[in-house]
Structure 1
Amino acid sequence: MALSQDDVAQIADYARIALTPSELEQMTTYMNEAVDLLEPITHYDLDGVDPTFHPIGDLSNVMGADVVDDSVRALPIGVALKNAPSVHDRYFRVPSILGDSEEDF
């Protein structure tokens, strides 16, 4: 089923993309070519295959707990800050991205 220029115009409107008549014609051709490239998929036997709605399935949280594990040897703060160009107490000191004075560094 080919997309009409009206179909493409509605898609562009939904995506908030303004198209000139020339661009609409080009986009209609392009989108129909893209749809044609997907045509071989319709020949797969998909009987009994459940649709996948999310690539990770039932996985709800992939992040680990944000806690310090004392059994793992961490890099000492002094070693971490040793080559830093500027430090303040136990933190890296970096230029402010919101200010523009030397005091912001």
Structure 2
Amino acid sequence: MTQHLSEADVRGIAEYTRIGLTAEEVVAMTADLNAIIDSLAPITEFDLDGVEPTFHPIGDLSNVMRDDAVRGSFTQAVALENAPKQEGGSFLIPSILGEGGDR
């Protein structure tokens, strides 16, 4: 098996990703990652001359967001129409902290 990554590389990756690894786990992870990289070697043997690269599975997708447009909204009275309780133009809701009651 080829040594693509060293134990120092694995420690650096673990530190960067904030994963705590013991010394034994570093050894095991180094072997596992090198085996994974070795298993991908056959990909390099494909003849890809003339194959167009792809970067998005949907193809030539462009911005599908709508344009921002200023439009009217409802009034404060309409917003409060269905409120179970209101006071002074605001929603009145039950307190979840302290002595209770509406706030």
**Taking structure 2 as the reference length, what is the TM-score of the superposition?**
0.50
Q: Secondary structure at the match of 1:27?
A: helix
- The CA distance in 1 between the partners of 2:15 and 2:53, in whole Å, is 29
Q: For 1:39-54, what aligned pairs fall within 5 Å after superposition?
A: 39-52=41-54, 54=55
Structure of greater relative contact order (alpha carbons < 8 Å, 6+ residues apart) = 2
Match of 2:11 in 1: 9
Aligned-residue CA RMSD in angstroms?
3.5
Identity of aligned residues (%): 53
Q: Which has the larger radius of gyration?
A: 2
Segments of 5+ residues of structure 1 without an aligned counterpart are: 65-88, 90-98, 101-105
Task: Name the aligned partner's letter for residue 17 of structure 1.
Answer: I
Q: Which runs of 4+ in 1 moved over 6 A?
A: none
Task: Name the aligned partner's letter for residue 15 of structure 1.
Answer: T
**Taking structure 1 as the reference length, what is the TM-score of the superposition?**
0.50
What is the aligned residue count? Answer: 78
Which of 23, 39, 44 aligns to 2:25? It is 23
